[in-house]
Chain A
Amino acid sequence: MAVIIDYDAGNLRSVQRACAEVGLEAEITADPRRVSEAERVIFPGVGAAGSAMKSLCSTGMDVALKEVITSGRPVLGICLGLQISLDHSEESDQNTLGLIPGKVLRFRLDNPELKIPHMGWNEVRVVQSHPLLEGIEAGDEFYFVHGYFPQPQDRSNVYAVTDYESEFASAVGRKNYFATQFHPEKSGRVGLRLLASFKNWDGGC
């Protein structure tokens, strides 16, 4: 059993459905107590960092999430969930949760042919092995939609990278926290594989 944190940050049912497909029952909840008690937590999100932080902090969800992470239980961040786990986002100049040292920057692309947001399927290259990335092979692509990208301070927190003019971190992690910039729930078979690995993950690396 997992919980999916609901903080008005997007369509959570697609995450729930993808979890169901791999046999992971997941409850969507906006109640911080449910999150504190959960065996494993998914922290998804689309939208803007500013409003997401406001919503998390006003409900006490930020505290609950930190508690779960401190306790060592597995947590998976997705997209905006990844971005607000760093220290600061350039989007609305927002201080964020600080679970992983680093910041989130806006894409500034020299090539006028490259579109913003970075939307579509792109290759994810594993640079450091991790239980959740097991089975992902060279050339496997995942679905992305984002206008900002994460830049962790410490290379040891970067598990996969993706190229969009230059290279950015597309999967980050620290101990029992792991997060992807891409959407595993919308990435076909390879995305489902990652969610299946999350189902069995004990939080160790």
Chain B
Amino acid sequence: MLSKRLIACLDVRDGKLAKSVRFVDTRDIGDPVEKAREYYADGLDELVFYDITASSEKRNIMLDVVEKVAEQVFIPLSVGGGVRSVADATDLRLAGAEKINVNSAAVVRPELISECAEAIGDQNIVLSMDIRRVERSDQFPSGYEIVINGGRTPMGIDALNWACKGEKLGAGELVVNSIDADGTRNGYELTLTAMLAEAVRIPVIASGGAGKPDHLYDVLTTGRADAALVASMVHYGDYTVSELKKQLHDRGVKMRMSW
């Protein structure tokens, strides 16, 4: 039986680790390569790097980070943040990323998904969606809207429609990131995650809001997610990767327990 995955997300700015809280304030919390090694040794199932570097001149720093991590960490490595073209995706792949996350640029120009899928394979394209809760309406039948630019720009697109469209265009996986829950540590957005997981056939990664082991349990069961993404929970030493996995395993969630 397939295991549920525990994924750690590392936000990287100018080559340093940062943790976003509701996407706005970020602060540096260390060396991404060192953290990646630590989590790998502790049984992490997959790593995501999100490049939040503001200036495009500093983008090569990220390629360096990816390259260093790929030399030492032998689990799937996913990278996103600022991917706007097939060339961006290919550069990251060559540096050692398995999967490429597309987000804002795909909302603006959806063909980016199919172009990347064609170039590097469906299964390697992850459509990352930032989503906020809105009033249910004709425009937003699901009651959720897609936002971009780290949550600042609402796009007038229904989240459920966008998820289905992304799957049709060739995305191999979805990240469902609730910007309402992100950084709150009050738990994932279960209703949203379950709704999208039921609507698509591709795997769904829940993101935003994890603060306690219970939250992971909830989203991997009630929330129907295939994987749970954590950040601050593990970055600040409140929990370790292996401890989270063990707790989930003890409660009957299928996890990879030997590494």
Contact = CB atoms under 8 A, between A and B. Distances in A.
A14 B96 contact: yes
B201 interface: yes
Nearest to B71: A17
A119 B173 contact: yes
Nearest to B4: A120
Interface in B3-60: 3-5, 40, 45
Given A115-B202, A141-B258, A11 B74 contact: no
Interface string B216-233: 000000001011000000
Contacts of B201: 115-116
B258 A11 contact: no
Contact of B124 (A46, A141, A164): A46
A47 B121 contact: yes
B108 interface: no
A191 B2 contact: no
B121 A143 contact: no
Which range contains the number of A residues in contact with the other chain? 35 or more
A188 B75 contact: yes
A17 B257 contact: no
B173 A13 contact: no
Contacts of A11: 93-94, 96, 98, 120
Interface in A73-123: 113-123
Count chain A CB atoms within 10 A of each CB in B40, B74, B259 and give the residue with the most.
B74
Given A14-B98, A116-B202, A191 B258 contact: no
Contact of B70 (A14, A116, A145): A14
Interface in A1-48: 10-11, 13-14, 17-18, 20-21, 46-47
Nearest to A144: B2
Contacts of A139: 257-258
A192 interface: yes
Contact of A145 (B3, B71, B96, B123): B123
Contacts of B203: 115, 117, 119-120
A38 to B, nearest CB: 23
B144 to A, nearest CB: 21
Contacts of A116: 201-202
A140 interface: yes
Contacts of A188: 40, 74-75, 259
A143 B258 contact: no
A120 B226 contact: yes
B123 A46 contact: yes
Nearest to A187: B74
Given A14-B96, A120-B5, A121-B3, A186 B76 contact: yes
Interface in A155-193: 163-164, 185-192
B256 interface: yes
A190 B4 CA distance: 18
A137 interface: yes
B175 to A, nearest CB: 13
A115 B124 CA distance: 15
Contact of A117 (B74, B75, B123, B259): B123
B75 A120 contact: no
B258 A140 contact: yes
A147 interface: yes
A147 B123 contact: yes
A141 B75 CA distance: 12
B80 interface: no
Nearest to B224: A113
B121 A137 contact: no
A62 B129 CA distance: 41
12 contacts: A13-B96, A17-B96, A21-B71, A116-B202, A119-B123, A119-B173, A121-B256, A137-B258, A163-B1, A188-B40, A190-B258, A191-B74
Interface of B: 1-5, 40, 45, 70-71, 74-76, 93-94, 96, 98, 120-124, 172-173, 201-203, 224, 226-227, 256-259
The 5 closest A-B pairs by CB, nearest first: A121-B256, A141-B256, A121-B3, A115-B203, A145-B123
Given A14-B98, A189-B74, A190-B258, 10 more contacts: A11-B120, A117-B202, A121-B5, A121-B45, A121-B256, A140-B258, A141-B258, A144-B2, A145-B172, A191-B74
